[in-house]
Amino acid sequence: QGGIMPKKMKKSVGKSDEERQVHLQQRAQAEEELKKKKEETLGLFLKDKLQKEQRNTAVNLLKLHDGWRAILRQTRDAELRHDIIVLQQTFERTLDDLDSIIQVLRSSPVLT
């Protein structure tokens, strides 16, 4: 029986090496799959983040354009109000000039 024991030991040692080899291969394969999964997850995360950034950029650009348009409208409003005042004053001066001309013509001896 003493002679049989070492053979079993050799056989179990060999099996242990095979098992170790299989275990190492499985471990390497599992690590590779984990690495791929991490890369895939990171890729999806970055893709999602990029889409969110693009949406935020579009929204912020719309806000910026709206704000800019509001500023332009305010500026244009002030300019138009100033133009109206100038035109009103010019009209009143022209009207006064025409009234004066009419008064002069009425008092003129040619028409009487």
Q: Where are the alpha helices (DSSP H) in the chain?
A: 4-107
Q: For the segment 50-79, what is each residue's pLDDT rounded down to a tens digit?
A: 999 999 999 999 999 999 999 999 999 999
pTM of the model: 0.49
Reading the block at residue 96, the tokens are: 């006064």
pLDDT number for residue 93: 98
pLDDT number for residue 34: 95
pLDDT number for residue 60: 98
Decide if pLDDT at 9 tops 70: no
pLDDT number for residue 16: 85
Confidence of residue 17 (pLDDT cuts 50, 70, 90): confident
Reading the block at residue 91, the tokens are: 């009209």
> What is the identity of the amino acid at 83?
D
Distance CA 49, CA 56 (A): 10
Is residue 20 packed enough to be buried (19+ CB in 10 Å), middle (13-18) or exposed (0-12)? exposed
Distance CA 82, CA 16 (A): 97
Give every CB contact of residue 111 below 8 A, 6+ residues apart in sequence.
Answer: 105
Does 108 or 62 have the greater pLDDT score?
62
